[in-house]
Amino acid sequence: MPVRPTAEPPTGAAHDRVYRTLRTRIMHGELAPGAALTLRGIGKEFDVSMTPAREAVRRLVAEGALFLSTSGRVSTPELTNERIEELAALRALLEVELASRALPRAHMALIDRLQSINSNVAEMISKRDAVGYIRTNLEFHRTLYLRAQAPAMLAMAETVWLQLGPTMRALYGRLRRTEPPQNHRLIIAALKAGDEPGLRLAVRSDVTQGLRLLAG
């Protein structure tokens, strides 16, 4: 069918729906590193032709969320240790700045919200739910960074998250910890105290620690 023959239930353009769904899947670690995708397979799953599937895949490749082999095959990326460390450094650089910019705007309502999200994070950890953990953890960070009023910077941080998605799955699927997120508590405490150096340190630690285990 050409263009929206009848009114569709919720979504807009087909390629955008495919893109958003795949993006969320990758960012949340629902795909393992190196997982292969095919245009026809995607088209079949979303009940569209190859054209919108291709556009969605291209977009994700441009963002570094998918890897394109020389022969055109697409798969989730298998990152080298150097790459992982670099992306962790990027997270630190960007997210420390975002947190710092959010700090003067962080009111009590935001802190309450972060504490609420953080209890969900703890629940996911106790349930050993890797995907749920990644999702709620990113929600925690995004909620804070949204207060920074810096959309381009946040978009860039999300691009890094995207690139790390499959690797994070492999990481958190591997180590079986049950401790609640200590660094998140430090972040919240620093926000309450208006302690900028403490906030920067806490964010840097939170962002760096997990990935160092895998890459170190």
Partner DNA sequence: TCTGGTGTTTTGTGATCACAAAGCCTGCAT
Partner DNA sequence: ATGCAGGCTTTGTGATCACAAAACACCAGA
Give contact residues for a second copy (rule: CB under 8 A): 13, 51, 54-55, 58-59, 61-64, 72, 83, 86-87, 89-90, 93-94, 97, 150-153, 155-156, 159, 163
Q: Enumerate binding residues for DNA (CB under 7 A).
A: 1-5, 13-15, 37-41, 43, 48-52, 54-55, 69, 71-74
Alpha helices by DSSP H, the chain: 14-27, 39-46, 50-62, 81-102, 108-126, 130-146, 151-174, 182-193, 196-215
Shortest separation between residue 179's beta carbon and a second copy, angstroms: 30
The two counts, helices (H) then strands (E), for the chain are 9, 3
Q: 87 touches which of DNA, a second copy, none (CB within 5 to 8 A by kind)?
A: a second copy
Query: Measured from the CB atom, is 75 or 159 closer to a second copy?
Result: 159
Q: Retrieve residue 74's tokens.
A: 């697409």
Q: What is the DSSP letter of 3?
A: S
Distance from the Cα of residue 45 to its chain's centroid: 23
SS3 assignment, position 186: helix
Q: Retrieve residue 131's tokens.
A: 């995907």
CB atoms within 10 A of CB 64: 15
Q: 9 touches which of a second copy, DNA, none (CB within 5 to 8 A by kind)?
A: none
Shortest separation between residue 72's beta carbon and a second copy, angstroms: 8
Shortest separation between residue 83's beta carbon and a second copy, angstroms: 6
Query: Measured from the CB atom, is 4 or 212 closer to DNA?
Result: 4
Q: Which helix (H) or strand (E) holds 74?
A: strand 74-75
Query: Measured from the CB atom, is 16 or 196 closer to DNA?
Result: 16
Q: What is the DSSP letter of 69?
A: -
Q: Which amino acid is at 199?
A: L
Burial (0-12, 13-18, 19+ Cβ within 10 Å), 70? exposed
Shortest separation between residue 63's beta carbon and a second copy, angstroms: 6
Query: Measured from the CB atom, is 36 or 155 closer to a second copy?
Result: 155
Q: Which helix (H) or strand (E) holds 30?
A: none
Q: What is the DSSP letter of 75?
A: E
Query: Measured from the CB atom, is 14 or 168 closer to DNA?
Result: 14
Shortest separation between residue 119's beta carbon and a second copy, angstroms: 32
Q: 178 touches which of a second copy, DNA, none (CB within 5 to 8 A by kind)?
A: none
Q: 137 touches which of a second copy, DNA, none (CB within 5 to 8 A by kind)?
A: none
Dist. CA 114–CA 10, nearest whole Å: 30
Query: Measured from the CB atom, is 89 or 189 closer to a second copy?
Result: 89
